[in-house]
Structure 1
Amino acid sequence: MDVAANPGVAARWDWRSVLCWSLWGWGSAAFNTVILTFVFTVYLTGSVANDPQGGSAALGVTLTIAGACIALVAPVTGLRSDAGGRRKRWLAVHTALVVACTAALFFVQDDSAYLLLGLALVAAGSVFVEFAGVNYNALLLQVSTPATIGRVSGFGWAMGYFGGLIALAVVLFGFVQPEVGLFGVTSQGGLNIRAVALFAAAWFALFALPVLLVVPEAPAPANRMHRSFLDSYRVLGQRIARMWRSDRQTLGFLVASALYRDGLAAIFTFGGVIAAGTFGFGPGEVVVFAIAANLVAGSSAFLGGRADDRFGPKPVIVTALSGLVVVGSALVVLPGKPAFWVCGLLLAAFLGPTESASRTFLARIAAPGREGETFGLYATTGRAVSFLGPLAFSGFIAIFGTQRAGMAGIVLILVLGLLAMLRVRAPEATGDRS
């Protein structure tokens, strides 16, 4: 990564900018962890839906549709934000849309008549948070140097996990566990969980502000051109064709990461649902486990970032994926809550480094000035096959009749991603040992 060739790359490591950038991850955890994984989707499938199995299947179908929307639009939003020098503006717009969808979940009562509304809002939020993530990830190059990109990315992921941990602790002790929670809310009509949605929206909005106020916008390219939205697809197609001819390393990584990231997303999405439906965790137990899992994942993401700078991202990714496959396979067959606690925390330990190293792998090989476009393709290739995780989960449930079988489907996706990743040539490690 050449700093001189790309003025958007930081020339030095500025901890103030790094902290402000990472606080967006801290805030977005309120949606990804509280809403999408451990609290609100569990509420939708367990209390709003008529039965957990049907609710889980409906959630899988809805998120598959959301993934298709992301696949069609994400790369063009990244390309257009690169071309116009407007990454922060679009980060702000999409973050605001996530906040609005999250706050609107307050109106989803514990009655099956509200299931469609809840699923639609969760799906819309998942689309907009992915769009926001395209521009957020592209900003990584503006707050790190080539020698520190691994640890900065790892710190950002760690902040996301720790933000999720704190948010979950507030949710557990302020809303889920007490008979009468903060502001006098109770469980009648699902009011305590609906209030959690308002809390998550406020949390995300608050911690998204620092990156928008402090981190500078990337400079617009000198050959800036105004294109229509549809014309952007033509330009994107030309660049993908050029990538096929001359940059198959990037293309190969996009395909491999699409597979295994879909498995990671499925673990996040259905982890709380499996804990409740298969291992008998109550709502409070799910949140306690989530707090512990976020602590483990955050710590491992931070340590994985340092390993990334020293050894390069590919060894980190391959090692973590291998661990996920082994532990996930064990979870398919082992019974009881203790098994879920042990295997679940081990899964969390491998999740953080995989995600962080994947981001730095792509940032290291992205063409200068096209980081938003490249991360848009990263989102798109991930979502182009995003039906695989939900389909494997819901399909195995339909075939075998248990949520435990759904976990086997997720492991299969991780295996395919690992095999594909082994064929990808790694970028050079910086060898930084500080």
Structure 2
Amino acid sequence: MLKHSRSTWSWALYDWANSAFATTVMAGFFPVFFKQYWAVDLPDEQSTFWLGLANSLSSLLIVALAPLLGAVADCWGARKKFLLTFTTFGVLMTALMPWVGQGEWLLAALLYFLATVGFSGSLGFYDSLIVFITRPEGYDRVSAFGFSLGYLGGGLLFAFNVWMTVQPEFFGLADASEAVRLSFITVALWWALFTLPLSLFVKERPGRHVSALKAARGGWRQLRETFRHLRALRMTFYFLLAYWLYIDAVDTIVRMAVDYGLALGLAHESLLMALLITQFVGVPAALIFGRIGERIGPKNGIYIALAVYTGVVFWAMFMETAGDFYAMAVTIGLVQGGLQSLSRSLYARLIPPDKSGEFFGFFNMMSKFAAVFGPVMVGVTGVLTGSNRASLVVLLVLFGAGAWFLSRVDVEAGRRAISGHT
């Protein structure tokens, strides 16, 4: 880890920064607080539906914006500026969450939707900067390094936040509810503070000095060209389809796992501890997957992760105890960061470096477009069948279809096609 340059550390620390939101807010406290405090008067199925809808609508907005903004960012050389803009917005919306009163579930869902827009909107620009801090042969290791720091940073703050909720009196707080509110503030501060190194030390290729209107028009033209390129860059297109399908299932698990456990009657303290386990197991596991990508190729590493995830979903259908949830948390922690990091590094090999903002805008679009459907399909299936367990069949279909499209990706052919379009 110490061999990484200052720019690599600064870039990777943004994963450390934004993972506080992904872990404490998105996966941890918000689903619990939403169901048990803000939406306490709603039936479980309805609160699950509204949580899924907030996740899906935020993703839908990013779907609409990401490719165009990525093209504009390439034109201006403004990937970092767009990242900082979305981050600032997400930080502010997160900081407002503590002021929402009990029963005000609609306002809580709105702030969560807006904060998630800030979080999700920043990720495509963050991913696109990887081509400026390392060479292609370093993509697997650097991408894994970012995810490992994310798991560590998100896990450390989450552990502190859980401690506050378990022993609020130790921190001079009235109760666990006040501790959760304070946790949202700590996330906003953490996210803002650890974004600073990226803003200071990560450099990108300068863009063209053109007006916003001209940049937008150029972005639309470049976007249309990218669609045409994707017809020729068949391997890139196949990978995007594969990624769209399997990351939908992964994101749905991340966003809905706590809600699923609560619906099965598990204690929220047990669910939060399981999330902590996932975070800290993910730190070394993500680094190991970076090595796996270098040894056997990122595509084969992704296959391993998908096979494990499929087994976890089958397991979850018959889960009964908190011990089952803990065991699944360990298993997911072993592969989650690896799947994400190898997907990013494999995709970086299949795109033109000078259009990284635009192509990673597509990458972000595909993941968020997937997240439009996953949480809603799980929520709707649960409502229609009356069973949260039956809704997991959706995830099996997504993992299987993603693996099939991944089998169509010839990485070397994809790299040769890229060299013919640069």
Give the TM-score of the pair, scaled to structure 1: 0.89
Q: Distance in 2 between matches of 1:23 and 1:256?
A: 28
Q: What CA deviation, in whole Å up to 9, does each residue of 1:355-377 have, x standing for no partner?
A: 00000011111112100100000
- 5 Å-filtered alignment, 1:170-319, equals 170-174=160-164, 176-180=165-169, 182-187=171-176, 190-220=177-207, 227=214, 229=216, 232-244=219-231, 246-282=232-268, 284-319=269-304
Distance 1:185 1:406, change over 3 A: farther
- 5 Å-filtered alignment, 1:354-433, equals 354-427=339-412
Distance 1:303 1:103, change over 3 A: same
Give 1:302 deviation, angstroms. Answer: 0.9
The match for 2:67 is 75
Q: Is the 8 A contact 1:305 1:357 kept in 2?
A: yes
Q: What CA deviation, in whole Å up to 9, does each residue of 1:121-166 have, x standing for no partner?
A: 1111212212211111011122222222111100100110111110
The match for 1:116 is 106
Distance 1:16 1:410, change over 3 A: same
Q: Is the 8 A contact 1:328 1:347 kept in 2?
A: no
User: What is the one-letter code of the residue matched to 1:201?
Assistant: A
Q: What CA deviation, in whole Å up to 9, does each residue of 1:61-114 have, x standing for no partner?
A: 2222212111111111111111101111111111111100110111123x22x1
Q: What CA deviation, in whole Å up to 9, does each residue of 1:31-51 have, x standing for no partner?
A: 111111111122112321123
Question: Which secondary structure state, in structure 1, belongs to the residue aligned with residue 195 of structure 2?
Answer: helix
Q: What CA deviation, in whole Å up to 9, does each residue of 1:235-287 have, x standing for no partner?
A: 3123212321x2111111111101111111101101121222215122x3222
Provide the aligned C-alpha RMSD in A. 2.2
Q: Distance in 2 between matches of 1:330 and 1:274?
A: 14
Q: Is the 8 A contact 1:258 1:382 kept in 2?
A: yes
Q: Distance in 2 between matches of 1:92 and 1:39?
A: 25
Distance 1:44 1:146, change over 3 A: same
Distance 1:377 1:429, change over 3 A: closer
> Which sections of structure 1, spanning at least 5 residues, go unmatched?
1-12
Q: Distance in 1 between matches of 2:21 and 2:313?
A: 24
> Which sections of structure 2, spanning at least 5 residues, go unmatched?
416-422
Give 1:402 deviation, angstroms. Answer: 2.8
Q: Is the 8 A contact 1:279 1:340 kept in 2?
A: no
Distance 1:419 1:167, change over 3 A: same
The match for 1:8 is none
Q: Is the 8 A contact 2:58 2:113 kept in 1?
A: yes
Q: What CA deviation, in whole Å up to 9, does each residue of 1:375-418 have, x standing for no partner?
A: 00011122233332112210221122232233332233222212
Stretch of structure 1 that moved more, 261-270 or 39-48? 39-48
Question: Which secondary structure state, in structure 2, belongs to the residue aligned with residue 227 of structure 1?
Answer: helix
The match for 2:419 is none
Q: What CA deviation, in whole Å up to 9, does each residue of 1:339-360 have, x standing for no partner?
A: 2211232122121111000000
Stretch of structure 1 that moved more, 273-282 or 355-364? 273-282
The match for 2:330 is 345
Distance 1:420 1:195, change over 3 A: same
Q: Is the 8 A contact 2:58 2:116 kept in 1?
A: yes
The match for 1:156 is 146
Q: Is the 8 A contact 2:76 2:210 kept in 1?
A: no
- The runs of 4+ residues in structure 1 deviating greater than 4 Å are 221-226, 427-430
Q: Distance in 2 between matches of 1:408 and 1:180?
A: 43
The structure with the largest helix share of the pair is 2
Distance 1:123 1:334, change over 3 A: same
Q: Distance in 2 between matches of 1:410 and 1:118?
A: 27
The match for 1:134 is 124
The match for 1:5 is none
Give 1:295 deviation, angstroms. Answer: 1.0
Distance 1:235 1:216, change over 3 A: closer
Are 2:50 and 1:64 aligned?
A: no
User: What is the one-letter code of the residue matched to 2:109?
Assistant: L
The match for 2:88 is 96
Identity over the aligned pairs, expressed in percent? 24
Give the TM-score of the pair, scaled to structure 2: 0.92
Stretch of structure 1 that moved more, 28-37 or 125-134? 125-134
Q: Distance in 1 between matches of 2:371 and 2:245?
A: 8
Question: Number of paired residues?
Answer: 411
Distance 1:401 1:225, change over 3 A: closer
Question: Which secondary structure state, in structure 2, belongs to the residue aligned with residue 335 of structure 1?
Answer: coil
Stretch of structure 1 that moved more, 319-328 or 405-414? 405-414
Are 2:137 and 1:147 aligned?
A: yes
Distance 1:87 1:101, change over 3 A: same
Q: Distance in 2 between matches of 1:286 and 1:351?
A: 17
